Chain A
Amino acid sequence: MEPFTHRSLLDIEGLMKVDVERILDTAEAFLQVSRRPVRKVPTLRGKTVINLFYEASTRTRTSFELAGKRLSADVINMSVSASSVKKGETLQDTCRTLEAMHPDVIVIRHAASGAPSYVASKIRCSVINAGDGMHAHPTQALLDAFTIRRAKGTLDKLVVTIVGDISHSRVARSNAHLLNLFGCEVRVVGPRTLLPAAVDSLGVRVFDRLEEALEGADVVMVLRIQSERLEGALLPSLREYARTFGIGPRTIGLAKPDAIIMHPGPMNRGVEIESIIADGERSVVLEQVEAGVAVRMALLYLFAGEASEPPAVGEAD
């Protein structure tokens, strides 16, 4: 098997299909670790992982923290609130400070699209993008793919409908790129005001009506309505959104009988998804959470190893 040569995970576009399969296969082994009585292996003993979060996030940060700890890495959480950024430290200076601490992996979430790739260019250790602005959220896409593959047995040529606020969603973007690698038909549906201008460049089919978009779907991904970002009157009201694009018993009947329902969380019950669906037997929301730890363990394992460092100049192969 080829060694895993990627140094950082910035977006899905940087991965090939074999890379994705490698990550998901590795995650299978780690899923098992999380289900044992002793949920810890000594693999990354002596390695340091820094979680650098410029945006509030409980579940992604916790998931990375748990992933690192279950691999015996030392995990440090640095929550940088917007106010301390205003104190004046530039991202570059933060990078230098962190570099001096000799971490092996930096996990970064930032409100600015492209911040993780900037950090990766300034620092020698591995960088994992845990969500940047409206750009990418590759670990979410990978854990979604892992969940789908376990539920459906395959990722190839599925019909996946993504419902909701596509334009602000890095989750939708990363998922579309990943699913396209496997020849899936990716459909997006939502109010026109919440579809990005160049939506076609994502390689997706765009629908205006939820009913049409759901017909024959294998997977329904419901996105969170980020009410904090919708103050610019992009939506008339949450009630109207719930009526038109909310996933409930009536609309879900149009998808395939064995379709699974996904949500990256946190859910707005009664807005984008009704409770009876969120808690129903076709919902894999909690499987997604479990998959998140396994996939992030796989990524830390693949990135924190010295094998993933680029060879020194002059060193053969």
Chain B
Amino acid sequence: MVVFRSPRLEALGVFSHTPPNVARIQKVVLDADAIQRSIRRIAVAILEATSGIEGLTLVGIRRGGVPLSQRIADEIAKVEGRPPPLGTVDISLYRDDAATALPNPKIGPSDIPFDMSGRHVVLVDDVLHTGRTVRAAIECLQDHGRPARVWLAALCDRGGRELPIAADFVGRVIDMEPGGRLDVWVDAAGPDRVVLTERE
């Protein structure tokens, strides 16, 4: 039996086994080259929008956004000579369903080792979907100071928003059905890839 593995869901203890009677197709929608091009494009767009690295901070949303923010910072360093400061946020405590989420997720560390006040902060996530994660991340960020402006970068935008939230920097818009799954690998062993899983 095929087991579709998602690092993010496994962290929550959720494993997805394909039901034997439901045919599913898997498609690599972004390969390593495409991901690298997207990351470079996002990095350049961020620098243009914020007019340089001064006062810029990247904050990865745990867990998928963290390796991505590192990769974007690497690209920015190639242009500017140094990377912007990096932080991470864990949104477990800020979820709008925190008290009802099942199973209780393991709470990871938020690591924001500096005051956010007055900075240009780019939140980074791998997939933008309902927008609820981003809402929680913004709330978490505000508990660490008052940024001058918060931007949002996402490698993939799969639509399906449930809140009025939009990304400022997007790698690829992916048109997919609501029941589908999008898995992003950018830090694992093996090639970087974004895999779409849908019913046939």
- Interfacial residues, chain A to chain B (CB-CB below 8 A): 1-4, 25-26, 28-30, 32-33, 36-38, 40-44, 46-47, 71, 301-302, 304-308
Interface string of B133-169 (1 = CB under 8 A from A): 0000001100111000000000000000000000000
For the complex, give the distance between the alpha carbons of A308 and B105 in Å. Answer: 13
Task: Report if A38-B98 is in contact (Cβ < 8 Å); known contacts: A4-B104, A29-B107, A33-B93.
Answer: no
**Which of B11, B92, B99, B100 has the largest count of A CB atoms less than 10 A from its CB?**
B99
| Contact flag A305-B98 (CB < 8 Å), given A29-B109, A42-B139 | yes
Measured CA separation A3–B104 after assembly (Å):
6
- Contact of A43 (CB < 8 Å), options: B99, B110, B145: B99
Q: Which residues does chain A contribute within 8 Å of B94, judged by CB atoms?
A: 41-43
CB <8 Å contact, B99 and A1? no
Does A42 contact B93, Cβ atoms closer than 8 Å? yes
Cβ-closest chain B residue relative to A41: B93
Of A3, A25, A32, A44, the residue contacting B99 (CB under 8 A) is A44
Q: List 11 A-B contacts (CB under 8 A).
A: A4-B103, A26-B106, A29-B90, A37-B143, A43-B98, A47-B99, A304-B99, A305-B99, A306-B100, A307-B104, A308-B104
Q: How many A-B residue pairs have CB under 8 A?
A: 73
Q: Are A37 and B99 in contact (CB under 8 A)?
A: no
Tell me the smallest distance from the CB of B85 to a CB of chain A, in Å: 17
Chain A residues contacting B140 (CB-CB under 8 Å) are 41
A307 contacts B13, CB within 8 Å?
no
Tally of B interface residues using CB under 8 Å? 27
Closest A residue to B103 using CB positions: A3
Q: Which residues of A contact B102 (CB under 8 A)?
A: 3, 306-307
- A43 and B103 contacting across the interface, CB-CB below 8 Å: no
- CB pair B100–A305 under 8 Å, yes or no, is yes
Known: A1-B12, A1-B106, A43-B94. A305 touches B101 (CB 8 A): yes
CB distance from A32 to the nearest CB of B (A): 6
Beta-carbon nearest neighbor of A5 in chain B: B103
| A31 CB to nearest chain B CB (Å) | 10
Complex Cα distance, B89 from A32, in Å, reads 12
**Closest partner residue, chain A, to B101 (CB atom):** A307
Query: Do A43 and B144 touch across chains, with their CB atoms under 8 A apart?
Result: no
User: B108 an interface residue at 8 Å Cβ cutoff?
Assistant: yes
Shortest beta-carbon distance, A306 to chain B, in Å? Answer: 5
User: Other than the known A42-B93, A71-B93, what 9 A-B pairs have Cβ atoms closer than 8 Å?
Assistant: A2-B103, A40-B143, A41-B143, A42-B94, A42-B139, A43-B98, A43-B99, A301-B93, A301-B104
A32 touches B93 (CB 8 A): no
Question: Closest A-chain residue to B136, C-beta based?
Answer: A42
Contacts of B101 in A (CB 8 A): 305, 307
Task: List, in ascending order, chain B residues with CB within 8 A of A47's CB.
Answer: 99
